[in-house]
Structure 1
């Protein structure tokens, strides 16, 4: 029996006997994904509170208020007379934004300087605040454009002969602006990436004796193939969980990739292969389970923050950009997000090649270390 098959059989037997290690690959991912799915369900924003400060009380201002109230994601929580009352509602967390409709807004447009509608929004919650502001701006702009012929008066009759150009905005990849779709694509793979990094390091760590894997490398004869066989179940199980998560988001929740979901699954497989290779390298370098697990948690646990999907990396310091480029999750997230809008396959292949290179570099380094230590120990 080859070293690969023997190691694979031993790992499967161990997982069958050790219910704790089996739970790390089965029960723990299930719990994490179910809890996260529950938290993110119905992820399209609803009930974003808005306070109106209507200083005009005209037909035009009331039309804008009705337009804002008709937006599903927005809820008018109060109509107050002063800006300070609006800010008070934000401080009490009753609202996210305040809209000020100035006096004279509905009058004839004879003033040299047009009235300005002001929007104040809470930036402590960046996502909801920015989304509320964007929805308010789009809604108010559309309603003002609709009112142009009415407010223009007799002098504006000539404008009716010239049709205004239309503007149509279409969101790609996430047309419903759903946080469930966006965060689900990020957090699900990130959780599985961390779990597989930990379970792979723990699996190989069982063979560490006196701070070295040399005795194990000598015993198996072909440490690289044995490590591959040892970690294959972890890679396969991680990929299956990712596929189930993608199916839940698409078939279960109704979202869709414009590109190919199969390419995302292949990218996930490459991600977990690279993850297993890095865990092998950490164990081979340190010869300590605790240190390897700590390093796995540090690099895999922070990988999402440095992927460029949640926090901007472009224009950041060189260390952050280099670290982002090294992490395999960065390239998987790029690959995955590209498929949400159907980016060309050539671009997908570039990210897939980087993931394969990560696996080869880490795995090759681990194999060299194990062979050297096996020779020195023999």
Structure 2
């Protein structure tokens, strides 16, 4: 759920430049065939079913925005499109429908590379407003290495425009988020974590300490996007307080590849914003609270973050359904969250204070279920790691 500068914004993440480490070979024959289409083609969309993914992991960078796109791809194109333009003025869109988390890479007629990840849910799409005539080589990769069980994916080529973005699966049928007054407590303790080439959400948990997600900072075991600034109570370009970063600590398990229970990090601030704004406590749920939540009898779970579909706006949930405490220090919930909400707090009111019980991590795709599954890191693992750090 990392918001990669500004992550996964569909209108931004469409046109990409040449990959930094290119393994894809446009001279090879496409694995799943070649299609020849002329503008105003029928039927529209044109659909091809293929197997997504491959053995080669690549990273691709947008020449205009600097956004990155990563995935596992084959050497040869999966599909080749020979396209003939006309004077109709139609756009050309290519999008994917798949049960797995897929990534798309296209080499266009002018040799430019284009890539997208998570345009609608976990499905990518690339749109050409004024398409060129000629050859489009298309690769459908997977975000994770799924070899040798490559998932099935449908590639749809259309002049009807990109697909509508549908968040129903991630929103459990309805979008219950509301715009939050970020200048008031406790919401002003939540802030925008600027990662230079990305962004996430973070929360004050001490005078000069913020908790967020590890995957905001680390990619493939390496520090990828270190935090540069924290803006508390950020809303529409304004903020209550801001601070530079003096350091950070990522859960060692996450760096070692253990996602479950370790997708969290602490950011240390140059300024003691917590003395000005206050901070939330990190705490656990007792058995009575868990039972009450599972029975739908509270306490209410609150959440707020910077979802990518409302850039720079703090949106939140004022009563999320609690599902269960899962294995490996996870908390399963039904807060409506998207990319950009990574690192956001799931918290409850505790007298005149607020207790964080989970740090938002990710959404797991469940194609055989009505809805996907939202997962936060339960605070037992966060507290254990915090206890190993020197006092701040």
TM range (shorter): under 0.3
TM-score (norm 1): 0.20
Larger relative contact order, structure 1 or 2 (CA cutoff 8 Å, min sep 6): 1
Tell me the TM-score normalised to structure 2 length: 0.20
